[in-house]
Each structure stands twice: as C-alpha cells, then as structure tokens.
Structure 1
C-alpha cells in the first residue's frame, strides 16, 4: 500500500484562543476550510427552540462588506466550489472548498459573516419563512419522524426529546426578548474560544498558519465556555430499550460517563457490526432467513453520553427476539477477541486508503471531528467498557466467526515494468518493436479508450464501461444485480475505489473512481459477478429509500431524458448476449493498464467503438409526471443546448454561471417559493443543459414553471446589466474552473466521459475553457434567446400537473 504523507494534521491554539488544525497535502488540487463552533441546538435557551439553526441561516445572508451577491455562497459557487453548513445538537459547522487562488477570498468572507452578520428584521422574517417551510417538510416526512421517534424511550427532560427545528411559532422575530436572545447567543458562542478551524490544501504549513491567523484576527476573541451538561439519558435504571414495527427492530443502548476515546471505540464497533461479508453477523442472519439488513450508528455523543442505535431489517416481526439474543451473543464473541489486532490493522489500512483519495473538503471535515486514526490502546479500553455495558458476557456460541479480510487492502504482487519486453530495461524504453506498435494501434482502436487527458503520474484513476442493450433491464433484475454487488462495493470502497452499476433505459453503466492500484482486481470481480449465470431475480418490488420530491425527480431525470420505449427483459444472459459496449479509462499508469488486460478480456457483449449518441428532444416541450407520496410540490426544468458543439456548450455554461445566484435570490429569497431552490448546468448522456429545480410546500408545479419562465425572460436584461469588467471577470472565473491543475479528479473524469458521449475529442478539457473565453456578450444574448425559444427543447419533471399545449405529457 502506498505510504500516506502526514496522516495527522498539525494542531495548535493561536494567541487569541482559536484552535486550528492544518493539513499540508501536496497532492490536493483544491483547498478547504471547516469551522466548528462549539454551540448547537441544545445550547439555546428553552424559550426559543430553533434559534441556533435560525442564526446559521442568517449568517449566509451577507454583510455590509460582502452583500448577498458577493457573499460566501455566491463567491464559492462563482468559482465552482462547494459550501454548506449544519447545526447539530452541540455544535454548528461551516465548510467550503475552493481552488487555491480563490481560497483566501473565501476565508475572508467566512470570518466576516461570522463576526458581522446582517440581522435586520426584514431579512429575519423572510428567512423564518424558509425555516418554516423546512419544518413543514420535516414534519411530513415519514423517515424524519421515524428518526425522531427513536428517542421516545429517553428521559422526557433530556434535550434529545425536545423540539429544535424552528418554525414561525418558536421564532417570534418581532419580540424584543427574542432579538436580545439572538444577540446574546451570537456574542456568547461566536468567538475564538468556542471555535476550531481546520484548513487542508497543498500550501505549506507556514502558509496555512498565516491564513488561519488572518482569519482569527477578524473574529472577536474570547475564552472557551463550558457547555452545560445535560441530564441523564434515561429516567429509569434501564440502559437500553427497543422498538419493533413494520419488520424493523430498533435497539437503542445509552451510555453515561464514557471516556474521551469513546467516539473512536464506537466508530470501530459500528464498522464491524455493519460488515455484511461472510463470517459477519448480518451474513449469518441472511443465511438463516432472519434479517436482510443491519445498520449501527452512534446517534448522539456529548460529555461522556452516547446513544448507540442498531437497526435490523427483519424478514418477519416474529424474528425480533431471536435477533436481539443473537446480537448480544455475537457481541459477547466479539468482546472476547483479545484486543482485536487483525481487525485494528485492517481498520487503519482502510482509513489511510480513504484519506489517500479524499478531497480537501473531506479532509478538513475529518480533521474538524478530531478523531484518531484507528483504535488506540485507550480506545480499546473504552470499547471493552462499552461492550460490558451493552451486556457482553463470557458465555457465548463458539460457532461465530469474524468477517473475512478485505482482499483489496492487501498489497498486490509487484509486476514487471509495463511497456518493456523481455530483454529490455528502462534504458530501452524509447526503442519500440513492431509488435509493440501493433499492440498500441489495437489499444487506440479499441472501444476501451485509454485517455491521456488526465495525468497518469498520480495514485488515482477512473474507468467507465457502458453497454447498449437490445432491451431495458427489468427493475427487479437491476435490483438483484445491485444486491449481488453490495459486498464487493463495500470492500472496494474501503480500499478507496468507489464504483456504481446503474441502469438508464436500455443502457448499463459501470464506473469506478479512486485509487488505481486495486482497480484491475475490483473490475475483474465486478464483471464476474455481473455475468454470473446464477444471478437470481427477486420477484419482490425493490425497496426504495424515502426521498423528498426534488431528490426523487433528480433520480428519475437521467432515464427520462433517454425516452426509451420497448421491450423489458429479466433474462440477464439474454441481455448480455445482445449487448454492445465501449468505455473510457482515465489517469491509469502503464502498469495499471497492463494489469487491467485480463479484466477487459472478460467484458460481456460485443465491442463497439461507434455507439450512436443518445436521442434528443429537439424543440419539443416534454412534461414527465413522476409519482410521489409527498404533499409537497416539486419541479425540474431541463433545457438542453440546441447542439452538442463546444460553442453551444460554452454559451450554456456561461448562462448557467450567471443565473445561479440571481435565480436563488429571486425564487427562494424574494418569492419564498420553498427552501429547495437551485439552478446550474447538468450533463446527461453527453447532452449539456441548464437545470432549474424548486420544491415548494404550497405552490403548484405550473405556477413554479411560470416563475422560472419569467426569470428566463429577464436574462437579456441580466446580461446587459453587467459592465464589461464584470462580464469579463465572470467569464474568466468560469473558464478557470476547468483547469486540470485545480479540477478534482472525479469531476475531471466525469467531464471527460460526458465529452466522449457528446463526440468530443480527447482534448475536450483543453478546448472548453478556450471556448468559454470566446463567448462574447452578443453570443450570450443569442444563446439566451435560443434558450427561451426552446431550440434544444424543454423537459419538465414534476410530481403533479397536467399542462396544456405546447407540452406533451409522458409517464
């Protein structure tokens, strides 16, 4: 396994009390900041539930120095980054990721919004309506209510039993007492003593520290405040309780007075409980027809308290008692394993692997958690104490086994230098033979294209495999194939290779991204599983996770864009026999390319390097209804570019870039249509389009569409309202997002795959920013007119509505 540089960040406390963690990672292309404030929803005065969440929202509304259109969210989005925040029980987190050249500007904006929030009453009243819309959606969401009900067995006086979401009733903005409480909460907790700043990037530690010091200087200094300790979790001597309903067993274990190392102990325990591999607990339950799902999660941890939730998906409710008994028996067996040396070794290996391919944002957020890598000796002691409190005993069934080791975490056998034939050394690398030239020609003509568009001197790579089928796979067949891949996917994920196998219409797509070293073996195992003759087809409808309407529409969008009709098949061998495939491999070294040869020889179907592009809707207006049980309304509008040319893509990208902040400002802030409002550019099956989305608790889809149309009609005014300097600056900022030196590998790989599907050459990412810089104002105004005239078509997905002409309704 390749060595990981600096698996632990540098940590210190600055002179004004700000605690910082600094991670210098030269391999990173971007930088990230994660700020944790030690104050959350349980630190709010009882009279004002939701105040902490409300304040988090207010902080994003801009400041006197950086108004909304130049504030952190608009700034990060304008540079192609990521930004978000989250209010938890005892902490509030703010985090963003940006290209290196824009990172300092993000830090300045974050510190300014934390220190000088804009809190005028009009802003507060508007934002309270957004929180109320979130509350309404949360109160109607079955999964959210199930999560809340998990705490029903706790003491009624513990804050976990309270209401903390915030709504119109709990946030009386007009009252002077509320305004005073809001100011007091901000002043008490939003100061350096209560904050931890984590920075991750390619900069040196000295550069990162200088940024942290500049950030700290803008904040009010203060000393750390001891957050109030909650009452006991349980009102009775019991330390656990259970809930059984709808073939679901929820076991909840509560803990008091745990040591500081208990979070790492619980994380280690949950990892091995959740392991679905042969030898694990879930594998035994499945083999005996007792349960088909297990998920262990720490729901709450603070000041020595913890709540461990173990959810079991039962095949029948009658299995609940047996499941509980076997769980406690397995935990007793697990507790007897003499400090778990093999499991601890593998656990460290998978954590280091994941860090090796983590983004700057993932690393910064990991550092903010301040968890140790692996399970320390102190963690071992904490775990033993936890297992004893759960009820582990010395007497247990000796038929249990530990999960089998992950094969992808083992160091591979070294192979000979790729590209050399017998008798050659590296000194002969420039001398090619006729046989090598023929091999190279075959590789370049192969439907599996080994692209040099991404550098091959890093640890990471990507592989895409696409099959065009004669029929669409049956939903039950697709679910069975995904189920068969489940254990393999988890093993691969632990080894830093994320892969998925998805179906859209009559296409299958297998893609993997991550550490390239284990990829050849992972691909070989995946193909073997997918083509197995004994893949069973479940006759039960596949269970789908409850999704809010807008997420349900996003999930359905790729398939609806294909507009496939025709036969459906559940015969996997028949589907493979008529399949045609092509693929793209990115960033793979010569050694990995050589190692992948065996897997490529096992790809089912006929190779085809000339698969036609996906169909388009041209100038049609297509409306797709997607069934959803929610009472909320949601709509997506996808507007493809008229052609797949690079010029049209560049114009569409610039339109999307300029729309993002004004669209959010108009529909979410001013019109308050709902809390889920977004716009941006999306590429689907090689087709570039603008995507607009809204979920509303009260406004019907036809009205949402009217608001979007009104906004789009105003695009010429928006474009003409930019002076030349602003226009050129925004255009340059967009072009800079596609520099390979700053583009994360996963994004670069997906862009190159979409470029291949669109028929672009391998220099697509080089030509795209050049095309963006050539989009003049007149060209963009023409693109806005073509967008409004739907030259590329308009496709709406909604969970309600029956529109009139010109819309064509599909199911």
Structure 2
C-alpha cells in the first residue's frame, strides 16, 4: 500500500492515513518486485512524504520526498563498527571507512566522488562509532541521481587499491597522533584497561600503524577485504534518500542500484558482553588529565535498554538526577561550592552491556570534598527511589516529547538523512521518526529495576584531576592512572548541606497556548521592518508567515563603550555574562526542558542576548533575564568559582591541537577590538566581586542597542519588548559620553607576514590566510568561487597524495565584509618547512587556474540560494545582516548578483592576484624541537615572531 501522508495524533499515537490514487497499483508493483512496504508515523505538521522499503536483498530503505528542498541528500549506515573489529586488527572498521572513498570499479579515480560532490554544491563525510559506520552526502537537488550512482558503488564494487591502502593507513595513523593529547581519548585508553577483554570497550577503535600493519602471511588489505565480505552485506545496511522527486521516482532511483548490494550471510556481530568482571566493582580509578580540569564520574553497569525505547526508563531517571532547577542535585552542589556542572544519562543503547553515568564538573573545593559529593548524589538517588517514580512525571515528559515531535523544526538534509539512517537500526519501521520521542507507557517496576543498578556496590568511581596520585600508564595515550579497590562504608553529609535537596516540581513553562497567530502584518515583504529607531535603539520586527509554528526568536545586541575598552574590561564582560547565565539557570532550566532556551554572551564590544523557542512564555523569561542583568549583584563565592572556571577554560587552550590553537589566534591578529584569551586570563586574576559590581553599573552608560523580534508575535508585542529592553539596558551618561569602539579589520600589506607559536604537541601545523583585495561584493564572490574550485583538490593533493596528515582543509574566514580563505594542514610526520612548502606549491600552481567555471558557479549559487530550513536559521540570516551593518537585507542579494555577473576571465585574473601575489598571514605552530633548522628567510618571510599578538599588540592598519 502506498503511504503518501501520515499524520500522528498526539497522546493516542493513532495513525491517520490518506490513501492517494495509485496506491493499489504501487502495492501490486512492490509485491511483484518482492519489496516490502511499511508504514511510517510522522508529525501532523511534517509536510515531507515518507516510504519505508525492504528490498529483496534485505537492505532497508527510507525514502523522503521534500518538494521544497534545495539540497538532496543520502546516507547509508552499516550496522557494524569498531566494536566488531577483530581483536588482532583494532581500528579495521575505521580504516575501511576511509578506504571506501578512494575509487570503485565503475568510478576508479580516487577523488572522482569527492570532485563530483564539490563541483555540484555538496559536501560529504563519514564516521565510525562502536556499532555504526555512517556515510552521507548532500548535493544540488538536480544532481541526486548521478551522486547516488557514485555513492552506491561504495557498497557494490570498491577497489581497495593497494597503493591507497598504504597511504590511507598513514592517514589513520595521523588521525590517531593528532588526538594523542586529547583528554577524552586519553581517558578512554584507561577505560580500555578496566573492561573485560571480551567487551568492545576494551578495543582500540581508531587504529594506527601498528594495529594495521602488514604481517607475515596476512597483509592488511586482505583483512580489509575479509571484513568487507563479513559485514558489508545488505542485511546490515540502512539507507535514507531525500530529494525533490516523488516517492515513486526516488524508489526507482534507489532500487535499481541498491538491489546490487550482496545479500550473503553476515558474520555475527559482537553482542551481549558484560562490561566488568563480577568481583571487580566497586572500584575507584584516578586519572591525571593534561588540562586543568576536575571531573567526577559515577558509572553503573546496566543492561542494554535498546528494546525499551517506547518506555525510556533510563531517560526518565536521567531527567530527574540531571535536573538543574531549584533544589536539584546540581543546585545544592553549587550552593556548597563543590560543582559547576552535572550530567546524567544512560549509555546503554547498544548490543552490549553499557552504563548509566552521572558526571560532575568539580571545583577545587569539590575535589577536596569528593566523598561528600558522592554521598549527596546517592542521597538524590534515594529520594528518586522513594518518592520520584510518579505517573505524572512520566506524563509530563511524554507531553514535552509530544510537543517536540509535533513542532520539530526541519534540519539540513544531510543531518536528517544521517540521523535517520542510524535510527533505522534502533527502531521499528513505523517508529523510525517518532522513536526518540516515544513515551508510550509508564512502567514503574521497570524504572525501579534500572534504579536498583545505581548502587554503591555496582559502582565505578572515576576521579579525573591534576592532583591525583598515579602508579600506572595506559599503553597507547600514555595516560597516568591508579586503580583502588573500594569498600562500602557509608559516607554521611551534614543535614545543613542536604536540606535543600528535593525532587523537581511541575514544570510551569510548558506552553499553555500553542496556536499560530493570524498573519496581520506583512510590511517589508520577505524582510523585517524597522519598527522603532531612537538615538540608542534600533528594533526590527517580522511576523513569521513561512514556518507557521508557535515559536519566535528575540535577538538583542548591546554595544557597550566600557565593554570594548580594553583587555581587562573584555575579561570582566565574559565573567559578567557567565554570572548572569548562572544566576538564571535554576529559574530557566525548566523553560529549556519545555522548548524555550536563552543565552547571554559577551562579545568584544558588548553583549548578545538570544531567546528561542515557544513564544508563549518568552516575555516572562525576557523580563527575568533583564532584571538579573541590570541588577548586576552576585554572591562573592559564585564570582570566585566562575572566575576560576573561566581562567581554567582560557588557559586550557594551550592543550588544544596545534591548528585549533592557531585558529584562536587568527581573529585576534586581524580584528579589533579583540583580545587573546591568555591575556584576558592574566587580566582577570585580580578582579574582585566588588570591582565587578562597580563595573556592571557602568556597562549600560550611553549604550547602543540593536534588536530583532521574529516569529509568532504581533507588532505591538514586539514594540512592548523593545521598551522593556531599552529601559533596562540603557543609562544616560553623566558628563562626557563614552564612545563605543568601532569594529575594524586589518588591511594587510602586500606579501606575507609570519607569526609562530611554540606548542607542546608533536604535530606541526600551518595556516595560510589570504585576504581579499577589497570588501566589495565582487571580491567576496571571487573568493567564494576560488575556494569552491580549489577545496577538493587541496585535500586530495596534500592529504591523499602527499599524506601530510589527517587535518587538511580549505575554508573561508570572513570578518565583517572582508573575505578571506585559509589553507590548513597539520602533520605528525612532515617538518614545518615541508608543510608550508606543500601549501605554497599548491597555491602557486593554482593561481589563475579556472576549470569547469560554470559548474562551480552553479554550486556557489546553490549554496547562496539555499533557503533556511527553520525559523531559527531564518532569524540567524536576518540577524547577521543587521549586525553586519546591512539593515536593507540586500547583502546576500548583492553577493548572488556578483557571482552571476563574474566571468571566468575575471575570476582567473583575481585568482592570479590573490594566489600569485598574495597579501596575507602565515600562522605556524610546532614544538621547539620541531623547528630546528627552520629558516624564515629561506621561506621568503620577514617575520618569525608571534609576540606582537601578545597583549593586544597590532602591527597593521585597519579598513
């Protein structure tokens, strides 16, 4: 039977069917082809059409017809991953994922697929997790058929070309080495030592040169082929294809190709293993991180809950333990000065035993009081066991989930297909969309059973802190750790420290009105209109008539003369924003659960305030936010705790990978006012609560406010908001009015400046930033076209052919209206000179080269004309124009016109100017031992010094 439209009815989960003409014929045709067709339940507001098929070879397919999409997309998910690696071939699933991109029998060129996607306005990627290997792409919608033909060959006839087996083995090793100082991976290396050898957690999932080496009589290529034969079979695969075509046309496009995937018998996947030895718990493991961070994790082994997705016992438990409202575990820990963050949830959705984890970000005092932190956590678990298993709580979660599905906002096609392809392994066909939202039946006994596993005798207590004493080192990432067998002695906490602890009450932010308002104001056409303009405030408004949801976005930017006056003020602004968010957290956390979120962030010249979600309670939340901001008075202990948290975060940037550190430095060099986070950390050290309060009282003097209200509001409601905002965030100056710093972008001289950063990382990294000649639309258009034409080739040359490293990419770096392109490479094996020369050669050889111009022009235009997918994306598009100084909303239109008018000859000329005689900056990073023999003069560079960025020093004039 053809399913053309499914309507999901709230609460009752009844399926409403609209049977269109031709459905009987389709059923007959499907039966004749031995194709199974299943129903799919979707939201009543979802205008996409769905069809779930099972092909004769048992490959499961979800077709999505979206008549309005600008991009088509597809994802194939193989239900195997690193958990299924042979013990003697760790990382093989991940290695295989890399290899599938490098040529097939029908399309043998190693970069053919990548070039096709890039030249038709698309992107592609893949990931390997424990139980999934997910491949996905998007492309201009008119090219779906051709892209799908290339994509299908990955799973029909890949080549595994011997030459690229060796090269990509090096790339996998580079990926491993690039993350060698990543604390998350370092801690996983410790967990591998704790798990039973039979459990997948004991495996090294990434792979390196050693695990993927050729061995006597067993070349790694043969193991790749065997793994592919064992697991890459149709019955292990799910496919999602989204396009403008009708379901019938999509089906024809898919079936002819994917029935060719072999349906041979698959090797059994790893399943049902216990995580720890029976007498192993309770156990304490202490781990020493590289970053200055303190974390406590309580992990409880629990049975997999995959089959229980319609009841969600672990989600119910996690929502209460992880609650952040008044009286919550986190709230009490914060009031005691022991913690700054908390998360709780189940990691038990797979085939093997998993864990329920409670993770707490400790303060230094919390580290010293860790036993009391654990005792307080078990106190909350006890409260939940005794009084928290209630039908009304479950029904409240079900109502919130029902609303979330009913008003789910459309995502980018590439994200949609990737997510759905993965979900198809976890949910029944009819539930592939609603599965994550399903709260179908309250089962108190089931919740109690899972709560029984949250016991002190079933506990792995993980303490991560720089202060811990260790006596062992993990083998791969060299992580220091220590194991201790624990007793079960009860820990008590004084009643004064637990008295506030309570279960969450009913959520008062659940919207009572979900009606979409009648459209009464369409002034300005497709763009917002200026509804209020004073000396201190400009406010734009647009009632949404496109997405028609009971939601809205309110965006506010406050330009503060004091906030942008120097590095100390910038640091204090960041602390002030953190304190505002912290002060609002208890009050606003229930709002976030009910689909209403907010953020207050400091920028280099002031503050941004954003509210998004259901509009019913937005006015109430906005008023509360503004009251806290204007009051500006915070408890001294919270000021000190959040100050220390900021200092740790800023100083921990030195532990990032080299290219990530350089990306933190680049805008500091090119944009003013902006300060380096390490300098802000130094400036913040001595700030006191009293000084911060005095500072906050001057923030709004002679401020300038920009504001946008977009969504399910009337004009008068928006005007009311503007008055409230102006009253709270503007203060008349006394005497001479302070001035707001102008935003400026460095106007680089001809040639290349060079700034070098010494790092504590074995990889070297180079970032070449090339700046557009002017800030006109034609300059931005030419830079986009050059980037689109070179992106795939840059990756192929430096990553695939030259094997410099895992991190290789070409990206945009636009500041205000000044376009820029950045060429990035990070290498664990090449010298810094070699990396720079490789980039330099590619840039020089590409100067003036323009091939397939019309093809790439169409790809750029497809990107520029790609319509926002939801209300929040549309709000962001409007807002970016306002804050960039283009309130006529013609910036994108002008850019599109410039792309359309440029000729191939003009772009070639611009390319010769930008790439052949560049004006730009080299940023490089390496450990001191890695730069021996490096001569900046040899590279034709006149500077080898990063110190001018320090303390906000600038060496350029500004546009």
C-alpha displacement at 1:579, in angstroms?
3.4
Superposition map of 1:42-61 within 5 A? 42-61=83-102
Tell me, in whole angstroms, the C-alpha distance in 1 between the residues paired with 2:771 and 2:668: 15
Match of 2:270 in 1: 228
Residue 665 of structure 1, CA deviation: 1.1
Matches within 5 A, 1:62-77: 62-66=103-107, 71-77=112-118
The residue that corresponds to 2:696 in the other structure is 572
Structure-1 residue corresponding to 2:228: 186
Where does residue 547 of structure 1 map in the other structure?
656
Deviation at 1:275, TM superposition (A): 2.8
Q: Contact conserved, 2:84 with 2:131, CA < 8 A, in 1? A: yes
* Equivalent position to 2:298, from 251, 273, 279: 251
Say if 1:129 and 1:168, in contact at 8 Å, map to a contact too.
yes
Offset, 1:552:
3.4
CA displacement, residues 525-572 of structure 1 (integer Å, 9 cap, x when unaligned): 544444332146434251326533323333444444314379979523
> C-alpha deviations, 1:408-457, integer Å up to 9, x for none?
5423487986758xxxxxxxx99xxxxxxxx9674699954537799755
Deviations 1:318-351 (A, max 9, x none): 4222222322231232234224335423541564
1:109 correspondence with 2:141: no
Distance (whole Å) between structure 1 residues aligned to residue 601 and residue 763 of structure 2: 28
Mapping of residues 676-687 of structure 1, within 5 Å? 676-687=807-818
Conserved 8 A contact 2:124-2:136: yes
Counterpart in the other structure of 2:571: 475
Instruction: Return the alpha-carbon distance in structure 2 between the equivalents of residues 691 and 701 of structure 1.
Output: 17
Instruction: Judge conservation of contact 1:331–1:392 (CA < 8 Å) in 2.
Output: no
SS in 2 for 1:664: helix
- Inter-partner Cα distance in structure 1 for 2:720 and 2:54: 47
1:156-195 maps to which residues of 2 (within 5 A)? 156-173=197-214, 177=218, 178-195=220-237
CA contact (8 A) 1:41 1:53 kept: yes
Deviation at 1:272, TM superposition (A): 3.7
Structure 2 SS opposite 1:243? strand
Deviation at residue 54 of structure 1 after TM alignment: 0.5
SS at match of 1:643: coil
Asked if 1:769 is matched to 2:896, the reply is yes
Q: 1:617 aligns with which of 747, 753, 756?
A: 747
Match of residue 434 from structure 1: none
User: Which segment drifts farther, 267-276 or 489-498?
Assistant: 489-498
Aligned in 2, Cα 1:138/1:763: closer, same or farther, shift over 3 Å?
closer
SS in 2 for 1:531: helix
* Mapped pair 1:282 → 2:330: yes
CA shift in 2, pair 1:475/1:78, >3 Å: farther
| Residue of 382, 393, 408 corresponding to 1:355 | 408
Q: Which moved more, 1:635-644 or 1:507-516?
A: 507-516
- In structure 2, the partner of 1:485 is 581
2-side partners of 1:521 and 1:204: how far apart?
A: 44
The answer to whether the Cα contact below 8 Å between 1:349 and 1:409 also exists between their aligned partners in 2 is no
Contact 2:82 2:91 in 1 (8 A): yes
Deviation at 1:519, TM superposition (A): 5.7
Give the aligned partner of residue 433 of structure 1: none
Q: Which residue of 2 aligns with 1:386?
A: 450
Is residue 72–residue 242 contact of structure 2 (8 Å, CA) maintained in 1? Answer: yes
Deviations 1:265-294 (A, max 9, x none): 334433443332223221121122332222
Give the equivalent residue in structure 2 for 1:154: 195
Q: Distance in 2 between matches of 1:59 and 1:582?
A: 49
**CA, structure 1 residues 84+409, in 2 after alignment: closer, same or farther (shift >3 Å)?**
farther
CA–CA distance in 1 between the matches of 2:783 and 2:52?
Answer: 44
Out of 828, 840, 854, the residue aligned to residue 728 of structure 1 is 854
d(CA) in 2 for partners of 1:631, 1:237: 40
User: What value does the CA root-mean-square deviation take over the aligned residues?
Assistant: 4.2
State the Cα distance separating 1:705 from its structure 2 match.
3.1
CA distance change for structure 1 residues 276 and 140 in 2, over 3 Å: closer, same or farther?
A: same
Return closer, same or farther for 1:5/1:742 CA change in 2, 3 Å cut-off.
Answer: closer
Q: Do residues 531 (structure 1) and 630 (structure 2) align?
A: yes
User: Per-residue displacement from partner, 1:563-586 (whole Å, max 9, x unpaired)?
Assistant: 437997952332332533335566
What secondary structure does 1:283 align onto?
Answer: helix
Quote how far apart the aligned CAs of 1:730 are.
1.5
With normalisation by structure 2, the TM-score equals 0.73
Q: Which moved more, 1:735-744 or 1:630-639?
A: 735-744
Q: Is 1:709 the equivalent of 2:847?
A: no
Is residue 640 of structure 1 aligned with residue 765 of structure 2? no
After TM superposition, the structure 1 = structure 2 runs for residues 173-572 of structure 1, keeping only pairs within 5 Å, are 173=214, 177=218, 178-200=220-242, 205-222=247-264, 226-237=268-279, 241-244=283-286, 247-256=294-303, 260-261=307-308, 264-299=312-347, 301-303=349-351, 305-314=353-362, 315-335=365-385, 336=387, 337-339=389-391, 340-345=393-398, 347-349=400-402, 351-352=404-405, 355-367=408-420, 368-369=422-423, 370=427, 371-377=435-441, 382-391=446-455, 400-403=501-504, 408-412=509-513, 442=532, 448=538, 450=540, 456-459=546-549, 464-470=555-561, 471-472=565-566, 473-475=569-571, 477-485=573-581, 487=585, 494=593, 500-511=599-610, 523-535=622-634, 537-538=639-640, 539-540=643-644, 542=646, 543-544=648-649, 547-564=656-673, 571-572=695-696
Contact 1:261/1:382, CA 8 A, preserved across alignment: no
- Structure 2 unaligned blocks of 5 or more: 1-9, 11-42, 289-293, 428-434, 458-489, 493-497, 524-528, 685-691, 733-737, 950-959
1:677–1:695 contact (8 Å) kept in structure 2: yes
Give aligned pairs, total. Answer: 789
